Structure 1
């Protein structure tokens, strides 16, 4: 979680919440504490709740998410931060600039991991060979599953996007396995739905290889995966930023298309001919 810095106290509070996995409500509390860092240490939980327009229990849960026993322990730490040390050098970047720059750092880390593309190539091989190819993404990860599915359908003969939970999800996995599927691509991003892990466990019991795109090698889905591909998720704004997982998605699609370039080209040319005939695009 990153928020703006206006004083030494604010810098200390920002360091306190840096890297914490917070809900959108908790991020709102964090932002208010940073923006009022010089006085927040002397406010009650009820006053902080009113300031952030949240419930008082939300303030308690926020403190516990940071590793404190409750709000009183957090307030003691805030007082230490507001009274100790010289003010940090002022950071001229605002909250939005900081969020974008942190995403740039996430992309740089992703680029560093691709120095050894073995995991991406292994994942691409598993996915390209699976017919059909189920692509699983629930809740916040559903758009990424759909994004992959849209482009993968141009180079793969049968892609099935599974982006809705409920009792039908396991049935659709069973149907894919019965139809010849050999692997599943799953997006496991915070906050991790319990239903996703259950679906992955079922897919493994069906004999399907699991390729998981996630934000951390220790995410709840990583231990089930045959191949884990990681890209950090930004948590600097109210809702997570999926910039790096999106880029990793396109890298994976590129690796799949490179497995059989001639077949890829034939499929892409067929799509272009069809799109031209039907005047799908305006240009």
Structure 2
């Protein structure tokens, strides 16, 4: 008798209900232990592909830019769907790929170390890797302001947001979000080249970060020594910022640290006079170190919440 094997859904690898929770937890721990790899990071590979396609697809139009953005977000989401088939290992790999909080905090510490050592040029070079503004003429206060604002925004963008979308949709959510955020960082500028082509990428990133930015501000309030100052700063100042999301997290950090953020910001494409956020003096190296500690606390809280949310929804 011939042994006819029935092929169907029962031949697929078994997926346990807690795979996503376990994978998010393992990926978060891996980010703490290893940080971003210096070579071969999947996000860097993704960025290289985006740059290559942009060269032949670019056109000064919103429809072309929208197709570009949606296509690449689809690539990220598809990678997440493939990762999902690998169970907890795939979820862990997606989480590690999507997170960048540990490396963010490490750069903040290195900038503060350079300032404490009197190496203003070294600090300018380091902060230039975090921000898109012109850093060549920044003094200590300007460097610390740029670094604190970036740490605030990227605590949301590089940790809370991917974990939020991981809690909502697992690996596809994390990698789809990471694709949207990477596109925004590459083409979402208000420069003459990207004013129209990058419009869709910037708006999609804004939408994807609406809930995570407000969750980040809430977690800052939970982690801060003076939560009332956080809520006051967010309620009063966040709406003044041109970004619907960066203003929320920057105001939260300003309130938690007791410093003032915002003000005149010089970019390659022009100068912006940003509204001031928070109360107190301009941040210095000690405040930058406090921002790094606060970011790490928020990162741990968001990882714990994501694991708990996935575990609960899979029960």
The answer to whether TM tops 0.5 is no
Higher strand share: 1
Question: Under a length normalisation based on structure 2, what TM-score does the superposition of the two structures give?
Answer: 0.25
Question: Under a length normalisation based on structure 1, what TM-score does the superposition of the two structures give?
Answer: 0.27
